[in-house]
Amino acid sequence: MKDLNFFESYIEKRKFNIDKRLIYYFIAILLVLFIVFYSIFNQIKIRRISKDVGKLRSIVEDEKINKKVTEINEKKKEVAKFNESLDKIKLLDNVIEEDNIIDDYLLENITSRMPDDVFFTSISIYTDNIQIIGISKDKWSIAELGKSLGSIEEFKEIFITNISFEEDNYNFTLNINLKDVNMDEEEKAVGEDENEEVYEE
């Protein structure tokens, strides 16, 4: 007769059971290993960063580099000042060009009215007048020159200050006062306003 063992099923199940303590130990070992490797990785990273910081600090504290940086900053300031002065010069140049009524056209007008017997030795140009020094074979040519120059609109007054006879020629000095462009524009504006008032009445 076969013996019945009622605990046989429990004994077989115990063979397949895994001890939970081993699982906990295994997980704990993995966590410890992860923490160790992570801390080692961080230490290596920190050392690399600290080396880079040390290199940068040595570069920053280097006197030669600091001198070069200060020189570059000074040059930048000089360039900025130069650009400011250049802009001011450009503005002044534009103002002068706008206000200047003596141009190539005006000089051509003067030379085109020269009689055949008159020669200029020098022309001095100022903001409000022109001085011409020349020679002529006779006084009539000098008078003709003064009269022909009077037809130029930009000239306000023309007068001959000096005539002297030397070495078969007459030396003369001719002064020309220029009209004020701004005053002329104001006079024109005033005239237009007066004409408008008369027209309105």
28 pLDDT exceeds 50?
yes
125 vs 102: CA distance, rounded Å: 8
In angstroms, the CA 83 to CA 150 distance is: 45
* Domains in the chain: boundaries: 104-186
pLDDT at position 183 is 46
Question: Between 110 and 183, where is the model more confident?
Answer: 110
Which is more confident, 158 or 194?
A: 158
Long-range contacts of 77-83 (CB under 8 A, 24+ apart): none
Find the range with the poorest average confidence among 9-13, 106-110, 157-161.
9-13
pLDDT digits (tens, 9 = 90+) for 60-91: 777 777 788 888 888 888 888 888 888 888 88
Average pLDDT over residues 162-171: 87
Amino acid 181: pLDDT = 52
Q: Give the fold, CATH level 3, of 104-186.
A: Gyrase A; domain 2 (3.30.1360)
